[in-house]
Amino acid sequence: MADTLQRKRLASQLAFFALFVLAPVFDLFRYDLNAGHAWLLGMEWRLGIDDFLAGRSGAGEAAVNVLLRLFLPILVGAALFLKVARRWGRLYCGWLCPHFSVVEAINGLMLRATGKPSLWEGEILPPWQPDGRPRRIDRRWWLLVLPAAVGFAFCWAVVFLTYLLPPDEVYRNLWQGTPTRNQALFIGAATTVLSLEFLFARHLFCRYACAVGLFQSLVWIGNRDAMVVGFERARGADCNRCLPERQSACDMVCPMRLNPRNIKRHMFTCTQCGQCLSACATTQSANPDGALLHWVSGHAARRNEAGFRPGKAEDS
């Protein structure tokens, strides 16, 4: 069950990463600086002010066009996005966001190389995996950490450029080794900045600097009924036997470095990735009472009640 959850999440991350890369290629969404208009779902998307600039329409008509074709879609899209976040939290971050996919990938490589998911982790994590197998540290994994960070950064830089310039032009110039000066500068600068971010500040960016994540967290934390990771506190003794030396598998696997057993306001940046749930289910697989961590909502979320059991009514 735990593996099934993470397999589904990995599939959704890979699918969305592919969409992130291919959306400009198929004109699903991009803005063309050369043409001076956007593309949406394969169709040209203009603000409708060409006639105003050419003197064929008035300012009122141009203002209405901008309102209907720019601000209204943005507001409707933002409202739907935040409505999802209000109910389910940072679901986009944990299940779709291409940046968070990179965060997790590099975390995994760095964990193998150093025993820590990031350079800023205070201590090396306990040498066990949730299933009890030993975790081995091998410095040779650094040979993959650095290329992965730079490779992802270069990929992102190129993809970002295709959102602004015709993708066939960008990829053709790169294939032929003849990017324009501005293209080369953009790709070089973006690759450098993103490489540093992926190496040194990837999950810090998610926690403190990402506006998309921040707004999701704000609307989620304000909804007491929203889905949250609930902990069966009455069974704390089972939690103490999770791993040797009373280490907690859920703490070890959280990519945002949170304590999943904490109360909601201390889980502000939780991405609902469910890795803590999967780890808990793995360590408690032989326990007839099952895992101690579960997604809860409604009444159970408001109280984060210790008596929660799967199958109980969650909403009051």
What burial letters (b/e) apply to 260-273, b meaning 16+ CB within 10 Å? Answer: bbeebeebbbbbbb
Q: Tell me the three-class secondary structure of the chain, residue by residue.
A: CHHHHHHHHHHHHHHHHHHHHHCCCCCCEEEECCCCEEEECCEEECCCCHHHHCCCCCHHHHHHHHHHHHHHHHHHHHHHHHHHHHHHCCHHHHHCCHHHHHHHHHHHHHHHHHCCCCCCCCCCCCCECCCCCECCCCHHHHHHHHHHHHHHHHHHHHHHHHCCCCHHHHHHHHHHCCCCHHHHHHHHHHHHHHHHHHHHCHHHHHHHHCHHHHHHHHHHHCCCCCCEEEECHHHHHHHHCCCHHHCCHHHHHCCCCCCCCCCHHHHCCCCCCCHHHHHHHHHCCCCCCCCCEEEECHHHHHHCCCCCCCCCCCCC
Query: Length of the chain, please?
Result: 316
- How many Å apart are CA 291 and CA 280, to the nearest integer? 6
**Does the pLDDT of residue 51 top 80, yes or no?**
no
What is the reported pLDDT for 251?
85
Instruction: Please indicate whether residue 158 or residue 248 has the higher confidence score (pLDDT).
Output: 158
| Among the listed residues 34, 39, 29, the one whose alpha carbon sits nearest the alpha carbon of residue 182 | 34
| Averaged pLDDT, 204-223 | 92
**Does the pLDDT of residue 150 top 90, yes or no?**
yes
- How many Å apart are CA 174 and CA 184, to the nearest integer? 9
- How many Å apart are CA 105 and CA 260, to the nearest integer? 21
CB 66 within 8 A of CB 49: yes
What is the reported pLDDT for 284?
87
**Does the pLDDT of residue 52 top 70, yes or no?**
no
What is the reported pLDDT for 311?
43
How do the domains of the chain map onto residue ranges? 214-303
Task: Name, in order, each residue with C-beta under 8 angstroms of 20's C-beta and a sequence gap of 6 or more.
Answer: 98, 159
Longest dimension (CA), the chain: 77
Whole-number average pLDDT of the chain: 87
Q: How confident is the model at residue 59 (pLDDT cuts 50, 70, 90)?
A: confident
pLDDT digits (tens, 9 = 90+) for 161-189: 999 999 999 999 999 999 999 999 999 99
CB 256 within 8 A of CB 268: no
CB 163 within 8 A of CB 312: no
| Averaged pLDDT, 260-273 | 89
pLDDT digits (tens, 9 = 90+) for 275-315: 999 998 888 888 888 888 999 988 878 776 434 444 443 43
**Does the pLDDT of residue 18 top 70, yes or no?**
yes
- How many Å apart are CA 27 and CA 35, to the nearest integer? 13
What is the reported pLDDT for 244?
67
| Among the listed residues 96, 27, 116, 38, the one whose alpha carbon sits nearest the alpha carbon of residue 70 | 38
The letter for the amino acid at 257 is: R
Q: How confident is the model at residue 120 (pLDDT cuts 50, 70, 90)?
A: confident
pLDDT digits (tens, 9 = 90+) for 78-119: 999 999 999 999 999 999 999 999 999 999 999 999 998 888
pLDDT digits (tens, 9 = 90+) for 220-250: 999 989 999 988 888 877 777 777 666 688 8
Instruction: Please indicate whether residue 243 or residue 13 has the higher confidence score (pLDDT).
Output: 13
